[in-house]
Amino acid sequence: MSRGPGRLLQNVTQFADTQFKQFSTRYGDQVINILDFPIKLVLSPFTLAFDIAGSAPRGFGIPEFISKISYLSVFAVATLGTYDIAFDMGKKVICQRDCKTCNGWQALRCTMCKGTGSVHYQIKDYNLRSGEKPTADCLADAIVDNRAELVHLPASIDISAPLPSKDCPTCDGTGVMSCTECKNKLQVRISADDIMEPPWKAYNVLKRMDYPYEHIVHSMKDPSIANFWLITLPQIMGGFEHDEDVKKKIWWQYEESMRYDQLRDLVAKRNPGWEYLQDALISIDPVRAREDPVIVKNVPFYKAKKALEAEVTKLNPPPRPQNWGDLNLPLNTSSWSEEDLKNPAKLYEKTVLLNAQREIADKILDAQWEAKWRQEKVEEMLEEKVRPYIQDSSMCVLPQPILLKSHKKDQKVAIE
């Protein structure tokens, strides 16, 4: 009996042949059909066109020409239709990644600066050269030379003290940051969910809709209409019914919101004592009041500016300079042809319309000139009143809110 690697190789070959024959007998046809399916799918337009066109009646002369035209038309329609279906299925199977955070935009509003592109900062752990004081110029040089540490403050923090600002480091001053869920991930997914449009997609879109109609906001002041928008409509759209506890919570939130809106209307009128109502408004909802344009952050400055505007309103503006301003007027002398001017009625019409247009344009330009002059006068008077209090910022030491105390310096002093 032969021994060695030859016998082992013969046994392995016999075992492999036996297993291949058994696999071919059981699963051969299925594997061949699976591997043959992509080839059949790609060649189906050609085979289908040949099968259909082959059944067309053939002949000589005109019948043969018609048969060839029908053959080519069936071939073209079958080819284009099959490839269109294949491409459409491919686009639905290989689709964009569905991100729940950014809804496919791959970007979000920057959370650091809230889309403004700039953030306030404070200076911490600065190292100055010998003989230097913490002035604006010296600290600017320290920041450029990386001898100072900056502490960036998010826009969500309400800062009463004036602080310097710079481009947001999170979004590089664009106000838009990349989505954290989509970052460094493939934006393509393979799924069969989009082959048939599910019915709940339209409902999800409807549920996310935010009605941008101002009349709805004003109509919410009516309790009956508010009851429809807050309770009845969601129940109709969702097919459910709120519990009594949920309705009470919704209505309590509505009353709290309306209390803010009612107080806001009083503040917007600027009647005497509005600054105290503004404090109450901030205490009700500090987050909403922080971005409310009705809220005045610097009340003394606002009052002083309004007083200056009242003084300027009493002044009489100088006459408008000649040829000041430019308006694009619809009518001119070329609006009437020479043949029209031969008619006395047309000539009278031209004279009346041009004179009326000139008077209206003069009134518009006078109003623009007066508004521009008053605005410049207010800014001029404001600058005159503020100039005595303005100091050279490059020579004075920056105040404490801009500069933070360094813990390292405190520790050194304690050790000494």
pLDDT, one tens digit per residue, over 51-83 is: 555 554 544 444 555 666 666 676 777 777 777
Predicted confidence at residue 49, as pLDDT, reads 55
- The 10s digit of each residue's pLDDT in 328-349 is 888 888 888 888 888 889 889 9
- Domain identity same for 159 and 201: no
- Domain identity same for 145 and 217: no
Predicted confidence at residue 196, as pLDDT, reads 55
pLDDT bracket for residue 372 (50, 70, 90):
very high
Predicted confidence at residue 356, as pLDDT, reads 93
| Summary mean pLDDT of the chain | 76
Q: Is residue 55 part of a domain?
A: no
Write the single-letter amino acid at 28: G
- The 10s digit of each residue's pLDDT in 174-209 is 888 888 888 777 777 766 655 555 544 555 555 555
Q: Is residue 348 part of a domain?
A: yes
Q: Report the sign of the C-alpha dihedral through residues 144, 150, 153, 154, in that order.
A: positive
Phi, psi dihedral angles at 118 (to 5 degrees): -135, 150
Residue predicted with more confidence, 308 or 8? 308
Domains held by the chain: number: 3
- The 10s digit of each residue's pLDDT in 205-255 is 555 555 545 566 677 778 888 888 888 888 887 777 888 888 888 888 888
pLDDT bracket for residue 158 (50, 70, 90):
low
- List the single range of 33-37, 126-130, 132-136 with lowest mean pLDDT: 33-37
pLDDT bracket for residue 303 (50, 70, 90):
confident
State pTM to two decimals: 0.44
Nearest to 122 by CA among 404, 407, 406: 404
Region 384-398: what's the mean pLDDT?
A: 66
User: Which residues on neighbouring strands pair with residue 150, listed in sequence order?
Assistant: 123
Nearest to 70 by CA among 84, 57, 83: 57
CB-based contacts of 354, cutoff 8 Å, min separation 6: 331, 332, 333
User: Which residues on neighbouring strands pair with residue 166, listed in sequence order?
Assistant: 119
Tell me how far apart the alpha carbons of residues 349 and 159 are, in angstroms, rounded to a whole number.
63
Region 32-44: what's the mean pLDDT?
A: 69
Predicted confidence at residue 412, as pLDDT, reads 44
Answer yes or no: are the C-beta atoms of 325 and 372 closer than 8 Å: no
- Domain identity same for 140 and 203: no
Q: Is residue 377 part of a domain?
A: yes
Q: Can you list the positions of beta strands (E) in 237-300?
A: none
Q: Is residue 3 part of a domain?
A: no
- List the single range of 109-113, 323-327, 393-397 with lowest mean pLDDT: 393-397
Q: Is residue 139 part of a domain?
A: yes
pLDDT bracket for residue 411 (50, 70, 90):
very low
Q: Is residue 227 part of a domain?
A: yes
- Domain identity same for 353 and 378: yes
pLDDT bracket for residue 364 (50, 70, 90):
very high
- Domain identity same for 279 and 317: no
- Domain identity same for 287 and 356: no
Answer yes or no: are the C-beta atoms of 117 and 176 closer than 8 Å: no
The token pair at 308 is: 């200056």
- Domain identity same for 244 and 214: yes
- Domain identity same for 286 and 375: no
- Domain identity same for 215 and 257: yes
Q: In 55-184, which ranges are continuous DSSP H helix?
A: 62-93, 136-144
Tell me how far apart the alpha carbons of residues 357 and 346 are, in angstroms, rounded to a whole number.
16
Q: Is residue 396 part of a domain?
A: no
The token pair at 105 is: 């935009």
Q: Can you list the positions of beta strands (E) in 240-358?
A: none
Region 20-26: what's the mean pLDDT?
A: 77
- Domain identity same for 273 and 353: no
Region 152-172: what's the mean pLDDT?
A: 80
Residue 341: give the domain boundaries: 311-323+337-389
- Domain identity same for 341 and 250: no
Widest Cα–Cα separation across the chain: 134
Predicted confidence at residue 410, as pLDDT, reads 46
Nearest to 122 by CA among 152, 145, 146, 148: 152
The token pair at 132 is: 């230097």
Predicted confidence at residue 42, as pLDDT, reads 63
- Domain identity same for 205 and 285: yes
Q: Is residue 303 part of a domain?
A: no
Tell me how far apart the alpha carbons of residues 53 and 290 are, in angstroms, rounded to a whole number.
75
